[in-house]
Amino acid sequence: MSIHRAAIVTGASRNIGRAIALSLAAQGHAVACFGRDRAALEETAEMVRQIGSQASVFVGDARSNASMEALAKHTAETHGRIDVVVNNAGAVRKAKPSEMTAEQFTDDLQINLISQFALARAAYPTLRASGRGVIINIGSIAGTMAFPHAVSYCAAKAGIDGLTRSLAYEWARDNIRVLCVAPGYVESDMSKDVLNDATTRDWIIQRIPQRRVAKPEEIGAFVAFMASDQASFATGETYYVDGGQRTSI
């Protein structure tokens, strides 16, 4: 496969991140896979190579702004360019607001929101040089809906919406598109504790008009489309991929 673009995917070790990496690879992107689990990242990278694309692995912590800067440098040096950045890394801390410390709240904002700005900023010069850069921030329906005991996660995901609009406005003249893809419930490690309980799963599905949860591959395919030139006039928007859940509230 001829490589003509390069992408960064954070949180690429499994689930949605891995699905995004594979969908981008199928479009001919070289993929820099970022996360904390080297073994799982190497599995993703090997799957990318089996598709016929190039892959590299960079291990780090999204809570570290220095890691985000080093990731952008690694990608530019290893793959020669950066065309797409997918900010997918994230985590949920389950805690009652009254029992969460300010330090914990700040830590959650760092991984779920600030890391997205840090990587976008670090990759900006190379994205601008590509002439058709794309940043896709992975949000969530939790940015517009309250979820129990997830105050820091909901706040961060709401912030991603504003970050996306602002960066899209600021960088449009640099030919950089900035989008947010906000999934609903997806079969993943993050949601397994909720979805593995039959009663809770049924309660959730009854509130989704399509009466099912998404597969990671569906999110990956949507992200790859939004990163492609077929979506070249789309920027500054949040796209909800939730089976219609937000229409039923």
- For residue 57, the cross-strand partners are 33
Gap between the Cα atoms of 32 and 26, Å rounded: 14
The one catalytic residue among 153, 185, 239, 240: 153
- CB within 8 Å of 15: residues ≥ 6 apart: 186, 187, 188, 189, 190, 216
- 124 labelled catalytic: no
CA distances from 161 to 13, 70, 108, 158, 215 (A): 24, 25, 16, 6, 23
Q: Do the Cβ atoms of 217 and 176 come closer than 8 Å?
A: no
Q: What are phi and psi of 189, to 5 degrees?
A: -60, -35
Pair 133, 174: CB distance under 8 Å: yes
Whole-number Cα distances in Å, 100 to 91, 94, 141, 145, 207:
15, 9, 22, 20, 29
**176 token code pair:** 């950089």
Question: Looking at the annotation, which residues are catalytic?
Answer: 153
